[in-house]
Amino acid sequence: MPAGTSTLAQTKRGSEVTNISPNGIWVLANDKEYFISYKDYPVFATASIKQIAAVTTDFSGNLHWEELDADIELDSLENPEAYPLIYR
What is the fold, at CATH topology level, of the domain defined by 15-79?
Answer: NE0471 N-terminal domain-like (3.30.2020)
pTM confidence score: 0.77
Q: How far lies 45's CA from each of 1, 12, 15, 49, 83, in Å?
A: 40, 28, 20, 10, 20
Write out pLDDT tens, residues 6-59: 433 334 468 999 999 999 999 999 889 999 999 999 999 999 999 999 999 988
Domain residue extents for the chain = 15-79
Half-sphere exposure of 67 (CA within 13 A, CB side): 11
Alpha-carbon gap, residue 78 to 82, rounded angstroms: 9
Burial class for 69, CB neighbours closer than 10 Å (0-12, 13-18, 19+): exposed
